[in-house]
Amino acid sequence: MKNEIVVGIDPHLDTLGCVIMHEHEVLSSFSVPNCSKEHIDQMIDKAEGFAKQFSANCVFVIETTNVFWRPALSYFRRLGKSVFTVNSLQTKNARGTKMRKTKTDIIDAKNIVAVYNQGNSHKTNFPEGVLMDIREITRLHSKMVNLQSRLLDRIYGYLFQVFPEVFSVFKNGSVTSNTVLTLLGKGLLHPENLRNTRIDKLANVIIAASNGYYDRETAQKLKELAKTSFGVQEGRQGFTACLSTLSELYQHFDDVLKNMENEMIKPLLSQINHPFSSLKGFGTTLTASFVSELGNPNNFENADDVVAFFGFDPSISQSGKRTGQGKHISKCGTKYGRETMYLASGSCMMHNPSLKAKYERLKKSRFWKDAKSILAADLTRTCYAMYRDNSAFDQNKVR
């Protein structure tokens, strides 16, 4: 064991549970207010005092709980301290090995030190320069996309209840077109409202919203279906109000997301030298998310390390005669980066024949989601090499 004074820190909204240890001996345990420069400076002084006493190096190890650890990590970094992080799942697993299932901030802080001493901590750094700005914006963008998809699920759910026949009218059953969202906003996709609306008025709304793609015939078809709809007849006002509100929210999210990409992400990304314009389907937001989650490519020894950081490496579960090669990905590392590359695998194979052909080959022997995950892992390797070497995408190198 190294001659080190290790400070384990269990962060919470208001406090930091701290334990100072040398080898297996607890020298001091206490709590200090989180985000209090005065108290954290006192904790640092106490730890460095022990370090002088034992002629040891001083190391700070923080559990990555929610966002409560980030100000402390940033502060330690600014002071030039040696600081590491451990994941909360790691300390939970360490706690689970104990006979007595007890949990306190100090016990957790000791488990944090134990994880560090086992060599399972991480040298965590925030992205450098503009990459930090890009990462925070793209992460919010990702969360908002997920929220928008939940709104869409709710719209589908309500429409299925009140007017299931509507999905036979519009192309691919989509409810995200301007035509459908406009009709929802005006309350015109409830069967009873349709029956009570003049055909001329309905046709004018449909023609204007679709720029002429749909016409009076579409309006007539909707009215005919409304006469014999199988949908729920009760709660007309409630369903109409819910659908109108959801359509407005969905369109608002659309506007906000477009503004984030054009006014925030794109200007920041223009400051980064990258070759991803050569990879069709790898758009502005996907590119920005990938480079900000990856950070400096020189921080990784090879592409396999990047795949592991993005959580696409296979999980291992060996027992008895089983080989141990799991069928599932590990899902370790950056979940935002993993989500980005999974989405990118879909959009990129739509624009690159070599990627599409590879996906079709993979799908012949495995479930489509597994095939897409493998393609995402390979695309992660490719994008890492492109970014590291500043090289263009080459269709001929896809195998």
Q: How sure is the predictor about 93, in pLDDT bands with cuts at 50, 70 and 90?
A: low
pLDDT of residue 324: 45
pLDDT of residue 341: 97
E strands present in the chain:
4-11, 15-22, 25-33, 57-64, 82-87, 314-316, 325-329
Please tell me what DSSP assigns to residue 122. Answer: B
Please tell me what DSSP assigns to residue 231. Answer: S
- CA 315 to CA 54: how far, in whole Å? 41
pLDDT of residue 25: 94
Q: How sure is the predictor about 96, in pLDDT bands with cuts at 50, 70 and 90?
A: low
pLDDT of residue 103: 60
Query: Which helix (H) or strand (E) element contains residue 304?
Result: helix 303-309
E strands present in 305-349:
314-316, 325-329
Tell which phi-psi region holds residue 170, choosing left (phi > 0), alpha (psi between -120 and 50) or beta: beta
Joined tokens for residue 195: 């029956």
pLDDT of residue 193: 96
Q: Can you give the pTM of this predicted structure?
A: 0.86
Q: Decide: residue 212, CB within 10 A, 0-12 exposed, 13-18 middle, 19+ buried.
A: exposed
Please answer whether residues 131 and 290 qualify as being in contact, where contact means their C-beta atoms are separated by less than 8 angstroms: no
Pairing of strands 57-64, 82-87: parallel
Q: How sure is the predictor about 102, in pLDDT bands with cuts at 50, 70 and 90?
A: low
Residues 130-166 pLDDT 10s: 999 999 999 999 999 999 999 999 999 999 999 999 9
Please answer whether residues 286 and 340 qualify as being in contact, where contact means their C-beta atoms are separated by less than 8 angstroms: yes
pLDDT of residue 95: 56
Please answer whether residues 180 and 170 qualify as being in contact, where contact means their C-beta atoms are separated by less than 8 angstroms: yes
Q: How sure is the predictor about 99, in pLDDT bands with cuts at 50, 70 and 90?
A: very low
What radius of gyration, in Å, describes the C-alpha atoms of the chain?
27
Inter-axis angle of helices 199-209 and 178-185, nearest 10: 140
Residues 160-212 pLDDT 10s: 999 999 999 987 667 889 999 999 999 999 999 999 999 999 999 999 999 99
DSSP readout, 141-184? Answer: HHHHHHHHHHHHHHHHHHHHHH-GGGGGTSGGG-S-SHHHHHHH
Q: Decide: residue 122, CB within 10 A, 0-12 exposed, 13-18 middle, 19+ buried.
A: middle
In this prediction, residues 50-68 reach a mean pLDDT of: 94
- CA 119 to CA 315: how far, in whole Å? 20
Provide the percentage of residues in the chain whose pLDDT is more than 70: 93
pLDDT of residue 104: 74
- CA 277 to CA 392: how far, in whole Å? 8
Query: Which helix (H) or strand (E) element contains residue 98?
Result: none
Residues 72-86 pLDDT 10s: 999 999 999 999 998
DSSP readout, 236-263? Answer: HHHHHHHHHHHHHHHHHHHHHHHHIIII
Is residue 272 scored above 60 in pLDDT? yes
In this prediction, residues 48-53 reach a mean pLDDT of: 97
- CA 19 to CA 38: how far, in whole Å? 18
In this prediction, residues 347-360 reach a mean pLDDT of: 95
Q: What is the largest CA-CA distance in the chain?
A: 89
Residues 354-365 pLDDT 10s: 999 999 999 999
pLDDT of residue 398: 83
Residues 299-339 pLDDT 10s: 899 999 999 999 998 754 444 444 445 567 777 788 999 99
pLDDT of residue 238: 97
pLDDT of residue 318: 44
Tell which phi-psi region holds residue 129, choosing left (phi > 0), alpha (psi between -120 and 50) or beta: left
- CA 4 to CA 61: how far, in whole Å? 12
Mean pLDDT of the chain: 91
